[in-house]
A and B are shown apart, each in its own frame.
Chain A
Amino acid sequence: MTASTQAPARQGRGQHAKRARPPLSEGARAERRLAFLLCAPAVIVMIAVTAYPLIYAIYLSLERYNLELPQQTKFIGFANWAAVLGSPYWWHALLVTVIITVFSVAITLVLGMLLAQALHRLPFSRGATRTVSLIPYGIVTVAAAYSWQYAWTPQQGYLSSMFNNGAPLTNQAEAIIVIIIAEVWKTTPFMGLLLLAGLSLVPEDLLKAAKVDGATAWQRFTRVTLPLMKPAILVALLFRTLDSFRIFDSIFILTSGNNGTGAVSNLGYDNLFNALNLGIGSTISILIFICVAIIAVVFIVGFGTAAPGTDIEKR
Chain B
Amino acid sequence: MAVLTGRQRGGWATANFVVLALALIPVLWLLSLSFKTPAAVLDPSLWPAQWTWGNYSGILTSSQFLRPLVNSIGIGLISTVIAVVLASMAAYAVARLRFPGKSVLIGMALLIAMFPLIALVTPMFTIERALGLFNTWFGLIIPYVAFGLPLGIYTLSAFFREIPWELEKAAKMDGATPLQAFIRVIAPLAAPGMVTTAILVFLACWNDFLLAISFTSTVSSRTAPAAMEYFSGGNVFTVPTGPIAAAAVVITIPIVIFVLFFQRRIVAGLTSGAVKG
Contact = CB atoms under 8 A, between A and B. Distances in A.
Interface string A206-242: 0000000000000000000000000110111001001
B75 interface: no
Contact of B97 (A35, A52, A190): A35
Interface of B is mostly: helix
A284 B118 CA distance: 9
Contacts of B276: 308, 311
Given A143-B248, A143-B252, A281-B122, A158 B45 contact: yes
Contacts of B266: 134
Interface string A281-305: 1101110110111001000000001
A38 interface: yes
Given A50-B115, A194-B271, A278-B126, 8 more contacts: A46-B109, A135-B260, A138-B258, A161-B44, A242-B114, A246-B116, A249-B209, A313-B102
A288 B119 contact: yes
A157 interface: yes
Interface string B265-277: 0110011011111
Interface in B80-120: 86-87, 89-90, 92-95, 97-100, 102-103, 105-106, 108-112, 114-120
B6 to A, nearest CB: 13
A138 B203 contact: yes
A39 B86 CA distance: 8
Nearest to B270: A193
Interface of A: 28, 30-32, 34-36, 38-39, 41-43, 45-50, 52-54, 56-57, 60, 115, 118, 122-125, 129-144, 146-148, 150-151, 155-158, 160-161, 185, 189-190, 193-194, 196-198, 201, 231-232, 234-236, 239, 242, 245-246, 248-249, 252-253, 264-265, 268-269, 271-273, 278, 281-282, 284-286, 288-289, 291-293, 296, 305-313, 315
Contacts of A144: 26
B157 interface: yes
5 contacts: A42-B149, A115-B19, A158-B29, A245-B116, A312-B94
Interface in B244-271: 244-245, 248-249, 251-252, 255-256, 258-260, 263, 266-267, 270-271
A265 B123 contact: no
A313 B114 CA distance: 20
Nearest to B247: A143
Given A125-B16, A242-B114, A269 B178 contact: no
Contact of B43 (A28, A31, A34, A156): A156
A292 B112 CA distance: 11
A272 B45 CA distance: 40
Interface stretch (B49-57, B58-66, B138-146, B189-197): B138-146
Contacts of B263: 130-131, 134
B167 interface: no
Contacts of B161: 312, 315
Given A122-B16, A269-B121, A311-B276, A31 B228 contact: no
Contacts of A151: 26, 29
Contacts, number: 318
Nearest to B244: A146
A57 B125 CA distance: 11
A193 B271 CA distance: 7
A45 B83 CA distance: 10
Contacts of B251: 140, 143
B270 A194 contact: yes
Contacts of A252: 209
B170 interface: no
Contacts of A272: 121-122, 125, 214
Contacts of B258: 138
B116 A289 contact: yes
Nearest to A47: B108
Contact of A285 (B15, B87, B119): B119
A282 B122 contact: yes
A125 B209 CA distance: 35
Contacts of B110: 307-310
Chain A to chain B: the 4 pairs with minimum beta-carbon distance, closest first: A306-B277, A49-B146, A138-B259, A143-B248
A41 B89 contact: yes
Given A193-B270, A235-B277, A282-B122, A248 B210 contact: yes
A309 B273 contact: yes
